[in-house]
Amino acid sequence: MRFQDLLAYKKSFSLAMKIFNITKQFPKEETYSLTDQIRRSSRSVTVTIAEAYRKRIYPKHFYSKLTDSDGENSETQTWLEFAFACKYISNETYDELLSESIEIGKLLNYMLLNPEKFGVRKE
Protein backbone atom coordinates (compact mmCIF):
# COMPACT_ATOMS: atom_id res chain seq x y z
CA MET A 1 0.00 0.00 0.00
CA ARG A 2 1.14 3.51 -0.76
CA PHE A 3 0.71 6.21 1.88
CA GLN A 4 -1.39 8.08 -0.69
CA ASP A 5 -3.96 5.27 -0.41
CA LEU A 6 -4.58 5.89 3.29
CA LEU A 7 -8.02 7.39 3.86
CA ALA A 8 -6.64 9.86 6.42
CA TYR A 9 -4.06 11.01 3.86
CA LYS A 10 -6.65 11.46 1.10
CA LYS A 11 -9.06 13.38 3.31
CA SER A 12 -6.37 15.60 4.82
CA PHE A 13 -4.94 16.37 1.38
CA SER A 14 -8.40 17.32 0.15
CA LEU A 15 -9.01 19.56 3.17
CA ALA A 16 -5.62 21.25 2.76
CA MET A 17 -6.42 22.03 -0.87
CA LYS A 18 -9.86 23.42 0.05
CA ILE A 19 -8.22 25.63 2.66
CA PHE A 20 -5.60 26.77 0.14
CA ASN A 21 -8.29 27.81 -2.33
CA ILE A 22 -10.49 29.51 0.27
CA THR A 23 -7.58 31.46 1.74
CA LYS A 24 -6.83 33.02 -1.64
CA GLN A 25 -9.74 35.34 -0.79
CA PHE A 26 -8.41 36.35 2.64
CA PRO A 27 -7.29 39.99 3.04
CA LYS A 28 -3.73 40.78 2.01
CA GLU A 29 -2.87 41.92 5.54
CA GLU A 30 -3.40 38.31 6.65
CA THR A 31 -0.89 36.88 4.15
CA TYR A 32 1.93 36.40 6.66
CA SER A 33 -0.23 35.51 9.63
CA LEU A 34 -3.57 33.70 9.41
CA THR A 35 -3.31 32.68 5.75
CA ASP A 36 0.22 31.36 6.08
CA GLN A 37 -0.46 29.60 9.39
CA ILE A 38 -3.63 27.79 8.33
CA ARG A 39 -2.05 26.67 5.09
CA ARG A 40 1.02 25.36 6.91
CA SER A 41 -0.88 23.50 9.61
CA SER A 42 -3.37 21.92 7.19
CA ARG A 43 -0.57 20.74 4.92
CA SER A 44 1.43 19.46 7.86
CA VAL A 45 -1.41 17.09 8.79
CA THR A 46 -0.99 15.35 5.45
CA VAL A 47 2.80 15.39 5.44
CA THR A 48 3.11 13.86 8.89
CA ILE A 49 0.65 11.08 7.97
CA ALA A 50 2.99 10.19 5.10
CA GLU A 51 5.98 10.30 7.45
CA ALA A 52 4.19 8.13 10.02
CA TYR A 53 3.40 5.50 7.43
CA ARG A 54 7.00 5.34 6.30
CA LYS A 55 8.15 5.07 9.93
CA ARG A 56 5.71 2.26 10.72
CA ILE A 57 8.53 -0.25 11.22
CA TYR A 58 9.47 1.83 14.27
CA PRO A 59 6.34 1.83 16.46
CA LYS A 60 7.38 4.79 18.64
CA HIS A 61 8.08 6.92 15.58
CA PHE A 62 4.74 5.90 14.05
CA TYR A 63 2.89 7.03 17.18
CA SER A 64 4.95 10.20 17.47
CA LYS A 65 4.30 11.26 13.88
CA LEU A 66 0.58 10.50 14.13
CA THR A 67 0.25 12.50 17.33
CA ASP A 68 2.09 15.36 15.60
CA SER A 69 -0.42 15.10 12.77
CA ASP A 70 -3.30 15.18 15.24
CA GLY A 71 -1.79 18.27 16.87
CA GLU A 72 -1.52 20.01 13.51
CA ASN A 73 -5.14 19.06 12.81
CA SER A 74 -6.17 20.73 16.08
CA GLU A 75 -4.15 23.80 15.13
CA THR A 76 -5.96 23.92 11.79
CA GLN A 77 -9.30 23.84 13.63
CA THR A 78 -8.19 26.78 15.74
CA TRP A 79 -7.15 28.80 12.68
CA LEU A 80 -10.53 28.01 11.10
CA GLU A 81 -12.18 29.40 14.22
CA PHE A 82 -10.16 32.62 13.85
CA ALA A 83 -11.08 32.85 10.16
CA PHE A 84 -14.75 32.50 11.05
CA ALA A 85 -14.55 35.00 13.92
CA CYS A 86 -12.86 37.51 11.58
CA LYS A 87 -15.69 36.91 9.08
CA TYR A 88 -13.33 35.65 6.37
CA ILE A 89 -15.43 32.51 5.94
CA SER A 90 -19.16 31.89 6.24
CA ASN A 91 -20.78 29.79 8.93
CA GLU A 92 -21.54 27.15 6.29
CA THR A 93 -17.91 27.01 5.14
CA TYR A 94 -16.66 26.91 8.72
CA ASP A 95 -19.00 24.04 9.61
CA GLU A 96 -18.03 22.08 6.50
CA LEU A 97 -14.28 22.47 6.99
CA LEU A 98 -14.47 21.83 10.73
CA SER A 99 -16.52 18.68 10.13
CA GLU A 100 -13.90 17.40 7.68
CA SER A 101 -11.12 18.16 10.16
CA ILE A 102 -12.97 16.34 12.96
CA GLU A 103 -13.36 13.31 10.67
CA ILE A 104 -9.62 13.38 9.96
CA GLY A 105 -8.99 13.44 13.71
CA LYS A 106 -11.14 10.33 14.10
CA LEU A 107 -9.18 8.57 11.35
CA LEU A 108 -5.89 9.49 13.02
CA ASN A 109 -7.23 8.16 16.32
CA TYR A 110 -8.21 4.92 14.60
CA MET A 111 -4.69 4.58 13.23
CA LEU A 112 -3.23 5.19 16.69
CA LEU A 113 -5.52 2.62 18.31
CA ASN A 114 -5.05 0.00 15.55
CA PRO A 115 -1.42 0.30 14.46
CA GLU A 116 -1.19 -3.36 13.42
CA LYS A 117 -3.66 -2.66 10.59
CA PHE A 118 -1.06 -0.29 9.14
CA GLY A 119 1.90 -2.64 9.31
CA VAL A 120 3.20 -1.65 12.74
CA ARG A 121 4.75 -4.51 14.65
CA LYS A 122 4.19 -4.90 18.36
CA GLU A 123 7.20 -3.99 20.46
How far apart, in whole angstroms, are the C-alpha atoms of residue 21 and residue 72?
Answer: 19
Report whether 36 contacts 18 (CB < 8 A). no
DSSP assignment, residue 120?
P
In tens, the pLDDT along 1-21 reads 899 999 999 999 999 999 999
In tens, the pLDDT along 19-28 reads 999 999 999 9
How far apart, in whole angstroms, are the C-alpha atoms of residue 53 and residue 110?
Answer: 14
pLDDT at 15: 98
Q: Whole-number mean pLDDT of the chain?
A: 96
Residues 6+ away with beta carbon under 8 Å from 55: 61, 62, 65
The DSSP H or E segment spanning 61 is helix 59-85
Q: In the structure, how many helices (H) and strands (E) does the chain have?
A: 4, 0
In the predicted structure, residue 122 carries a pLDDT above the cut 80:
no
Mean of pLDDT values over 41-49 = 98
In the predicted structure, residue 43 carries a pLDDT above the cut 70:
yes
Give the global pTM: 0.95
pLDDT at 45: 98
The structural domains of the chain, ordered by start, are: 3-115 (1.20.1440.60)
